[in-house]
């Protein structure tokens, strides 16, 4: 799945995930590079419902 990353401080980043570029972002993942794991994952569809 293609993505665009936004680098934060101290090895953390947000990844914006999409299936096709013309469909927009489908999900957001919060990733800790040092730990090598995703710390949070949200579907954009669910965020818009809140």
Residue 2 has a pLDDT of: 75
- The pLDDT assigned to 10 comes to 87
pLDDT for the residue numbered 1: 67
Tens of pLDDT along the chain (50 residues)? 678 999 998 899 999 999 888 889 999 999 999 999 999 999 999 999 87
Helix (H) or strand (E) holding 14: strand 12-17
pLDDT at 12: 95
Answer yes or no: are the C-beta atoms of 5 and 14 closer than 8 Å.
yes
The pLDDT assigned to 17 comes to 94
Domain positions in the chain are: 3-49
């Amino acid at each position: 799945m293609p993505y665009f990353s936004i680098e934060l401080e101290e090895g953390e980043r947000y990844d914006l995930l999409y299936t096709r570029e013309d469909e927009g972002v489908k999900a957001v993942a919060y990733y800790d590079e040092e730990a090598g794991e995703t710390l949070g994952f949200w579907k954009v569809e669910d965020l818009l419902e809140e």
